[in-house]
Amino acid sequence: MKKLIVLCVVATLSFATAFNADASRFGVKAGINVADIKSEAAVKTALGYQAGIAWQFDLPIGFSIQPELLYHVKASSFDQLKSQINFGYVELPVNIQWGFRFFDRKLRLFAQASPFIGYAVHMDNETESALGKYDELLGNLGVDTGALDTADKVSKWTNINRFSYGCGLGLGLQWRALQLTAQYVWNFGSLANDQKLSAELFNDQNFGGCVISLGILFGGKK
């Protein structure tokens, strides 16, 4: 699955760059997400955000491709730790859009699928503190923590899977230069590398949830 997502992202990017600049638009976008990790550790949803750049290419029969480069903060709240974990990712989604135009092509309604790849580049101090309590938390869950690395090693990414990949599905509308989208994103794989940590704390899951974003795209055909 990971290779399929990566190949899809690379192929669509290569395909898009072959099109005429007159059919393309470049701009910025930002949004919020409500994410969680389906876990036994009483994880609740938490608010995150994203911001970056986008490049949209028009294709025949209502299709378009919109690759983006984003900084995406994802978070989840742990009740038992009274802490929130926050990871910052550099992400490359490729939105494959299909829809219809109305009102002399000024309004566009579309559906989109968004395969993406990403890499975690940041965790905040609160996250490091929460990660340092993994042994304590797993012990409370009745899990033998003898095979885990020390909390100090955990806080330095040893047991965290920094590479992420997945896909989103959603709807959007575009009025002239403004674009509004809403989608649900599935993040495949687990947040943890350690097998016991992944299975017992995260249920072999990664961040997933709803994303709402607003973009401004300039250029293209009038």
Report the pLDDT value the prediction gives residue 144, as an integer from 0 to 100: 58
Query: What secondary structure letter does DSSP report for 22?
Result: G
pLDDT given at position 82? 66
pLDDT recorded at residue 153:
44
Q: Domain spans of the chain?
A: 2-218
pLDDT value, residue 193? 75
Fold of the CATH domain 2-218 = Porin (2.40.160)
**Which residue reads 């920094």 in tokens?**
162
Rg (CA), the chain: 19
Question: Mean pLDDT in runs of 10 for the chain (222 residues)?
Answer: 54 52 83 80 78 93 94 81 81 96 91 96 74 62 54 59 93 96 91 67 77 92 54
Q: What is the pTM of this model?
A: 0.80
How many angstroms separate the CA atoms of 10 and 220, rounded? 23
> For position 154, what pLDDT does the model report?
46
What separation in angstroms does the CA of 56 have from each of 8, 10, 34? 17, 15, 25
Place of tokens 């709240």: 77
Per-residue confidence (pLDDT) for residue 21, from 0 to 100: 47
Helices and strands: H and E segment counts in the chain? 5, 8
Q: How far apart are CA 6 and CA 109, in angstroms?
A: 27
Could you give the count of Cα atoms lying within 13 Å of 39 in the half-sphere of its Cβ?
A: 29
